[in-house]
Amino acid sequence: MIKFPQGFLYGSATSAAQSEGAANLDGKSENTWDFWYKEDPYKFHNLIGPEKTTDIYHNYEKDVELLEKTGHSVFRTSIGWSRLIPAMDGEVNPKAVKFYRDYFSKIKEKNITLYINLFHFDMPMYLMDIGGWTNKKTVEAYVSYAKKCFELFDDLVDGWFTFNEPIVHVQCQYMSGHHYPAEVNPQKAIQCAFYTQLASSSAIKAYREMDGKKKIGIILNLTPSYPRSDNVGDLKAAEISELFNTASFLDPSVKGYYPKELVDIIANEDLLPEYTDQDLQIIKENTIDFLGVNYYQPLRVMENPYLYKDNAMFSPGKYYMGYDMPGKRMNPYRGWEIYPKALYDIAINIRDNYGNIEWLVTENGMGVEDEERFRKDGQIQDDYRIEFFKEHLYWLSKAIEEGANCKGYQVWTFIDCWSWLNAYKNRYGLVELDLKTGERKIKKSGEWFYELRKNNGFEL
Ligand code: BGP
């Protein structure tokens, strides 16, 4: 039997844009996803856009019952910025306030710990039009928005997160083309990363100035970089990959400053962002209380053996390359490696190098295509998902036994939800969503999760 400490939290996470639906209703304005879908629907799997998604907006009363039935003691979602504040004038949308207050109150009535995240990849279009995170005005707008959220909802919230996986919107907007505006522009990527960090630290500052009493933190996707071999080039590649992919947000968020090695690389590339001493002071003085960790897959890296042309565009790929390790275990639907031990390595890294700060797993899960083929007696028998959870929980429990300060485990996700570009291709939920009827049905993993929480552990 694998057991967890008393009070350990069990639950799931979702985000506003992926679960609420009602994208064009009740005063909400467009975010980048609504806009992009309108402009280029072919980017989206089966041409399904964000306007409807799981439709929690119209179903939250019943959905909260399902949180209980699947054993949740903690839940995380986000606030849709363009729903709460639909225009540049900063006016609050009263219908959004009513929705969020009702939804959150229902969750609290069930005695479920509620964590609210302020930004999950869904930039209001009116701010994207002025350059999004590459423009400092967006940082100011974000701080006003964050303050409004603290004023309006703090009494219902048990903990705040400023951002979800900020490195993802940096890479996807300005390096890889997966998020709007899908530009390839390293200078903008670095400015976007810096202003995102400044926004996070500034929101924390604002919360403390308002005398906020709840915990406030950031959610990072920590993807340990494993070197191909022990050769010096591969080890160096893994070190630099860690700087870009982990330390870039973890260090300023937890320690209050950027690693010197990372700053040196960026300076050498002549790509330092615009910043002021006051910005750095804000980052220094406003570190997080607790950390959310999303974990799906590790990174495997090797040295880049090729020479870069003198005038080649900057890419972290200059310093390390992805390594396609033979025999790695894959989730073929998402194309991500499955490596549960990384969760243990993450926990030990936080314990030993980040002051053993309080943290919890805020996302971990397995997206599977065509789950219909696993239906038996009317229910999706997703044993693969249960195995996936068990293996990750095993390594997590081992780390906790060795002193890791992890307080909970949230899976991705509650009810099957819409995914950025992949739409409903891969299903992640504890609860099945029938796309045609909107009906919800608890999967086998949802029942297993209920038992997990009840027993505060599971039989290996
Ligand atoms: C995380 C995001 C989530 C979610 C999840 C699954 O990176 O925080 O929003 O989408 O990944 O990924 P995907 O939906 O791309 O399969």
Q: For 154-173, how does the pLDDT look when each residue is reduced to its tens digit (9 = 90+)? A: 999 999 999 999 999 999 99
How much distance in Å is there from the Cα of 419 to the middle of ligand 1? 6
How much distance in Å is there from the Cα of 290 to the middle of ligand 1? 21
Helix (H) or strand (E) holding 221: strand 215-221
Residue 311 has pLDDT above 90, yes or no: no
CA 326/CA 200 separation, integer angstroms: 39
Cβ of 63 below 6 Å from ligand 1: no
Give the ranges where 210-319 is alpha helix by DSSP (H). Answer: 232-242, 248-254, 260-268, 277-285
Cβ of 334 below 6 Å from ligand 1: yes
Please give the C-alpha separations between residue 36 and each of 39, 168, 240, in angstroms, as whole numbers: 5, 17, 33
Please, which pLDDT band fits residue 282 given cuts at 50, 70 and 90? very high
Query: Number of H helices and number of E strands within the chain?
Result: 16, 21
pLDDT at 179: 98
Residue 308 has pLDDT above 90, yes or no: no
Averaged over 339-345, what is the pLDDT?
98
Give the pLDDT confidence of 250-263 residue by residue, as tens digits: 999 999 999 999 99
Averaged over 44-67, what is the pLDDT?
97
Residue 118 has pLDDT above 90, yes or no: yes
How much distance in Å is there from the Cα of 230 to the middle of ligand 1? 32
Which of 20, 30, 165, 432 is catalytic? The answer is 165
Does residue 387 have an active-site annotation? no
pLDDT at 310: 85
DSSP annotation string for 63-112: HHHHHHHTT-SEEEEE--HHHHS-STT----HHHHHHHHHHHHHHHHTT-
Please, which pLDDT band fits residue 295 given cuts at 50, 70 and 90? very high
pLDDT at 309: 87
Pocket test of ligand 1: the residue of 161, 420, 428 to mutate, having most ligand atoms within 8 Å of its CB, is 420
Residue 338 has pLDDT above 90, yes or no: yes
Averaged over 65-83, what is the pLDDT?
98
pLDDT over 90 percentage in the chain: 98
Does residue 239 have an active-site annotation? no
